[in-house]
Amino acid sequence: MNLGINYDRILNKAKYKYVIPIIAAKRAETLKNLDELKGITEKKDYVSIALKELENGKIQVKNSALLDSLSK
């Protein structure tokens, strides 16, 4: 399943390349938990879905000011 994820577009929104996998993993975990609560047992690629949501701006980086201060 290729969702056509453009990592450069994600980098423009998140700035820090090491934050992107953390955000995607947390969102993927949330998506999986939501599906389990709904009783959906279908296998999905939750990380790809989360990366696509990040690319499309559906999820955003919280505390970007804190990240900026830590990087200095």
Does residue 2 belong to any structural domain of this protein?
Answer: no
The domain in which residue 63 lies consists of: 7-71
Does residue 1 belong to any structural domain of this protein?
Answer: no
SS3 state of residue 22: helix
> Structural domain tally of the chain?
1
Q: What is the pLDDT of residues 15-38, one digit of tens each?
A: 778 888 988 999 999 999 999 999
Model pTM score: 0.78
Does residue 40 belong to any structural domain of this protein?
Answer: yes
Residue 54 identity: L
Q: Helix 19-38 crosses helix 46-56 at what angle (to 10 degrees)?
A: 120
Does residue 25 belong to any structural domain of this protein?
Answer: yes
Q: What is the pLDDT of residues 28-67, one digit of tens each?
A: 999 999 999 999 888 899 999 999 999 998 987 777 666 6
Does residue 36 belong to any structural domain of this protein?
Answer: yes
